[in-house]
Each structure stands twice: as structure tokens, then as C-alpha cells.
Amino acid sequence: MPGLPKPKYKWRQTWPNHPKHFCGYDGSRHIASIYWNHMGWWNWFMCWHWAKNANRWKRPNGQADSARAAALEVEACYDAVLRREWPGMAPEDLQCMLDNEEWMRTRL
């Protein structure tokens, strides 16, 4: 789409037989998914939000008119989480998420 910036993270198709479903990655970290809804919009949701108090956050998901717009919106959400600025986040939530990520990596 003309005028929209390019996504800054890596996006790839989730499954070969689902051409309208994509996952976003920051390095090896799976951060988000976007997919086409049959009602005519793209859904987006951030996958990387396992803080113990994430239930008080503004929901890290939404809808957009295009795949690129959805990718940009979820990237803005992810970047706000990394800056500890997503609405409802407590200062310790980011560290909780990083600790959970490390625990998941080492338990396998």
C-alpha cells in the first residue's frame, strides 16, 4: 500500500495451505500473528504477553483493513510493551515476561 511504512520485524506465512495467516518474529521470538477474517478485515494479536498481571492490560489485539496495517499495529503494540508503555502495564511486567521466556527456553 502506498504511503504506509514497511514492517520492521520479520513476517512469514504460518502454514503453506493458509495463505492469509502470518506470524511475526523479532529474531527467534514469536511476537505476533495476523490473519484474514472472512468478514472482511485482518485480525492481529500479540503472542508475547505472558506477564502475571497481563489481564489488566489494554487488550493486545485488534483489527485492520490490510495485512500491512495489521502488522504495523501489532508491531506498535510489541514496541510499546518493550518500552513498558502499553496501557495497563506495571513496571515489573516486562521482566516477568523475559523471565518466563528464559524459563520456557531452559525447560525444554
Name the more confident of 8 and 105: 8
What is the helix, strand, coil percentage profile of the chain, to 5?
30, 30, 35
Q: What angle do CA 51, 54, 58 make, to 5 degrees?
A: 140
Nearest to 79 by CA among 49, 56, 51, 55: 49
State yes or no: pLDDT of 52 exceeds 80.
Answer: no
The per-residue pLDDT for range 92-106, each reduced to its tens digit, is 888 888 888 888 888
As a whole number, the mean pLDDT across the chain is 90
Contact 50, 29 (CB under 8 A): no
pTM for the model: 0.87
Predicted confidence at residue 1, as pLDDT, reads: 53
The per-residue pLDDT for range 56-89, each reduced to its tens digit, is 888 899 999 999 999 999 999 999 999 999 999 9
